[in-house]
Amino acid sequence: MFPVLVALGGAGFALYFSNKLYFSGGKCYETGRLDGKLVIVTGANTGIGKETAAELARRGANVIMACRNMDRAEATKSDILTTYSKENPEALTRNVPNSTISERLTPVHPEQLMIEKLDLSSFRSVRTFVDRIREKGYQVDILINNAGIFETLYGKTEDGFERHIGVNHLGPFLLTELLIPVLKRNPNGSRIIFVSSRGHRSARMSLLPLNTERDKYNYFQCYYRSKLANAMYTAYLGRTFKSDGIQTASVHPGVVVTDILRNDKLLDNLLSKTVCFAERKIEIRSQIAYLQCNLLGTLRVHSFLLFDWVDPS
């Protein structure tokens, strides 16, 4: 019996440290500000997107919350303001790694958070969203392609693509391509950030079309391949638009408990009690990769970077 307990204990410690060292993100020690910058965050109504929008606003940025569900987006905006507006005496001390960071934060104001409808499963919605951005004359500084799905059941987008490749890559791809002229016009330079995942390393590539049909559906592989497509596209953007002042990065923000698996409670419960058990809630660490990319004055290269763990030294 004792050897069994030792083995189980060892497995538990191994799982814990694999979560910390492989899956998790780090903490943000950047003290930079983004005053006056305009950032588009897709999927900002929930999970990491919500926390990213909040943290950027605390550092002075104006954030366009590009969301599919407008009611949830409004509720999220209200929640962010309740937590981080000047009416909350703890607004500057919530979710910060140290007092130095607190000194660099400011309360979030309602006008910093703007909501726009965007459904990445619909090319029509993407084009309509970009048309609104152009019509309003926004000077976009940063585009964060955050929204994504992970679904066990097979489905197709409005345009007939398997949903993982459609929502996670093709929708953001079209959004980015349509916004590039806007980003290129920014005299101060701009940035495009894609949410990737270490899971992209597990993608099995072949000559088969990325648009998987139902009889060949493997939801893990479809997700992995969509994330690999993000990373490869990011590298392409970095090389192609380096001379136009557009910097790009692909990020792994760490594994945390979000509602990305809201349509599969069984898998959600399984993962939340194993690889995610040490990350019970969204914390500052879940946005670290985004914030590092956004706050650093100059990225070290003008192409592909996979940020996943940040050493404060």
Annotated active-site positions, please?
223
SS3 content of the chain, % helix, strand, coil (to 5): 45, 10, 40
- SS3 track for 206-220: CCCCCCCCHHHCCHH
**Of 173, 195, 188, 164, the residue nearest 286 (C-alpha):** 195
Structure tokens at 156: 């197709």
**188-200 burial, b if ≥16 CB within 10 A, otherwise e?**
eebbbbbbbbebb
CB 238 within 8 A of CB 272: no
Contact 257, 277 (CB under 8 A): no
What token pair was written down for 203?
Answer: 């993608």
Let me know if 278 is exposed, middle or buried by CB neighbors in 10 A (0-12, 13-18, 19+).
middle
Helix (H) or strand (E) holding 250: strand 246-251
